[in-house]
Amino acid sequence: MEEALLAMASSPWLWPALFALVVGDAFLVVLPSETVVVALGALWSATGVPPIAPVVAVATAGAVCGDGLCYLIGRRVGLDRWRWQREGRVAAAIARAAATVQRRTAVLVFTARYVPFARIAVNLAAGAARVPLRRYLPLSCGAGLAWAAFNTFVGALVGRALGDQPVLSVVVSVPAAIILGLLVDRLVTVIDARRARAR
C-alpha cells in the first residue's frame, strides 16, 4: 500500500489529475477535491513527496479555473435556465448569494470556497450579477490560494503528528478533512443566519 501511494505521488500524471479533480469539484460537489489536497499534504509531511509547492499551485489553479467557469456560466446563462439551478440546496444557495453578491463580493467568494453548494451559487451569482471581472478575478485567486494552502496545511499537520507512517497519515487525514469541511459549512450557515436575523 505504501509503495502504491508513493508511486502515485511521484507520477507526472498526479498534476493533471489533481487539476481536473479540483476544476470538476466546482460543479460536482461529490468530487473529493478537499480530501485529496489534505491527503497529499499529509503524504508530503510523512514522506517528502509529492513536493508541496506544486500541490498548492495546481490546486489553486484548479480552484480558480473551476470557479471562473461557474462565473462565466452565470454571466452567459443566468441563474434559472437549468432545472438543477431551480431546485434543492443549489437553488436556495443561489437565492441567498444573488441577494448580496454585489455588496459582499469579497466575503462571499472567500467563505464560499469552503462550502460546496455555496461555492457554486456564489460564482454563478457573481457572473449573473455582472460583478466586474477585474474585481472578481483577484478575489477568486486569493480565495483559491487560501483554500489550497489551508487544506495542504491541515494534511501536513496530520502527517507530522503521525511521523513515518504515510498510509496512516493519509487514512487519518481523510476524515479530518470531512469533519473540517462540515464544521466550516456549519459556521458559515450560523453566521449567515445571524446576519439575516439582524437585517
Q: How many structural domains compose the chain?
A: 1
DSSP codes, 7-66:
HHHH-TTHHHHHHHHHHHHTT-TTS-HHHHHHHHHHHHHHHS-S-HHHHHHHHHHHHHHH
**Domain range enclosing 136:** 2-198
pTM above 0.95, yes or no: no
Kindly report, residue by residue over 44-64, the tens digit of the pLDDT: 888 888 999 999 999 999 999
Kindly report, residue by residue over 142-199, the tens digit of the pLDDT: 999 999 998 898 888 887 777 666 667 666 766 766 676 667 666 766 666 676 666 5
